Amino acid sequence: MFAAFKMVFVFMALGIPAWVLGMPWTLLTKSVDRMYIWGRQVAALGVRAAGIRVKVSGLENIPAEACLFMSNHCSNLDPPILIPVIPRLPSVMVKKALMSLPLLGSAMKIGKFVPVERDSREGAVRAMRAGLDAVRSGKSMVIFAEGTRSRTGRLLPFKKGLFHLAQSTDAPIVPVVLLGTEAMMGKGGWRVYPGTAEVKFLEAVNTAAFPKREDLMAEVRRRMVEALPEHMRPLE
């Protein structure tokens, strides 16, 4: 529990001043970049304070153009571990309720974050449009392909709509596998265990080479499964 306390302390001690200083600048300049950079740095420092070492490989597989980073998802630690190591400022899918918060919601809209409503067809359509707008404006996106966290660490089925987004933009997909976070902070738990988390950026998938959505999804999934250890591979 002490590791979790140290991480939250860093988030609060550094995040609140960064928010207070960065929010007026963001609203004035209509650019979220400065605040986003500070946020990434705070996230990385918080993870480090919790005793988590992050090992990154495959950065050479990231294309120069806007792309979709599709990752597995086992823990609440995944976003603060993954996003800071991506060498650009990507858009992120967030709960719609966060977009309604004063000031912060405005900053997220400026940064072209994508609001997500679960179990809502209309919300899914709105999220798709927002995602298209973000990618077409030159933003990459971070997407957790399963749509939720895995309780066991094993890869869950993918959400098909995310691959429709990829095909609608022709943006390449960079499959990402996160290893170790399932043992550091599982779904439903608050305790953080120090250790080493691995982020592996796999070879990018050329979306245009797969006209059928099912084939595109299968190729991305195949690459991720092959990069996962046996205990994280799906049971099917």
Band the pLDDT of 73: cuts 50, 70, 90.
very high
Confirm whether pTM is higher than 0.85. yes
CA distance 110 to 66: 17
Query: Where do the structural domains in the chain lie, given as residue ranges?
Result: 1-50, 53-90+140-232
In angstroms and rounded to an integer, the radius of gyration of the C-alpha atoms of the chain is 17
The whole-number pLDDT of residue 46 equals 92
Asked if pLDDT for residue 43 goes beyond 70, the answer is yes
CA distance 75 to 185: 6
CA distance 31 to 105: 13
Answer yes or no: are the C-beta atoms of 221 and 70 closer than 8 Å.
no
Residue 176, H or E segment = strand 173-179
The whole-number pLDDT of residue 103 equals 59
Band the pLDDT of 122: cuts 50, 70, 90.
confident
The whole-number pLDDT of residue 45 equals 93
The whole-number pLDDT of residue 71 equals 97
Give tens-digit pLDDT for 90-119. 988 777 776 676 656 667 777 778 877 766
The whole-number pLDDT of residue 105 equals 66
Asked if pLDDT for residue 221 goes beyond 80, the answer is yes
